[in-house]
Amino acid sequence: MNWEFDILYAIQSIRNPVLDRIMAVLSDIGNYGILWIAVAAVLVISKKYRSGGLQMSAAIVLTFIVGNLILKNAFDRLRPCQIDETIHLIVKIPFDSSFPSGHTMNGITSAVSLMYIDKRMGIPACILACAIAFSRMYNFMHFPTDVLAGAVIGAVSAVFMNWFFKKYVSAKVNN
């Protein structure tokens, strides 16, 4: 865990008031996955993107079950800010455990899903999801492995749901 704190302290060395505000806003954007759920809902409403919206919604649900309900409870890892309380925090400490990063899981799940739906939506979503993931380390809420695990879980969920929908669902939704 020492190497993870080394990375977090290196990130802390770039802190300044402008970045603090940007990183706080990025974390807020990712709270509870609300942005990504709203995007999925808009896609479901659209006839053109309905199947993709359902696929994205299913990936978000799968990610929530695996990451938030199973892994967070199984690992019950303290957050960096709960171990080193000397760092000034600019966001509120969430009530759940650190591993894996929920902000990262939701963002990457949604961004990868959007890449399958339409790259014009997916590329900006990937940039935003990565920025949100970085903000979680900047804000001292997650270790690098929390963020890495969140990214892997999110990507795997999105890839799995893309495969599942192509194989079993899309033809039924589009008819």
In single-letter form, the type of residue at position 85 comes to E
Question: Where residue 169 falls among pLDDT bands split at 50, 70, 90?
Answer: confident
pLDDT at position 130 is 97
With pLDDT > 90 as the criterion, what percentage of the chain qualifies?
A: 90
pLDDT at position 56 is 96
| Cβ neighbours for 124, distance < 8 A, ≥ 6 positions apart | none
Instruction: Work out the average pLDDT over 29-48.
Output: 93
d(CA 90, CA 54) in angstroms, rounded, equals 35
Instruction: Work out the average pLDDT over 140-158.
Output: 97
HSE (side-chain half, CA atoms, 13 Å) at 23: 22
| Cβ neighbours for 1, distance < 8 A, ≥ 6 positions apart | 143
| Cβ neighbours for 26, distance < 8 A, ≥ 6 positions apart | 131, 132, 134, 135
CATH of domain 17-174: 1.10.606.20
| pLDDT tens-digit series, residues 72-88 | 999 999 999 999 999 99
Can you give the residue ranges of every domain in the chain?
Answer: 17-174
Mean pLDDT of the chain: 93
d(CA 43, CA 110) in angstroms, rounded, equals 12
pLDDT at position 175 is 47
The answer, yes or no, to whether residue 171 has pLDDT greater than 90, is: no
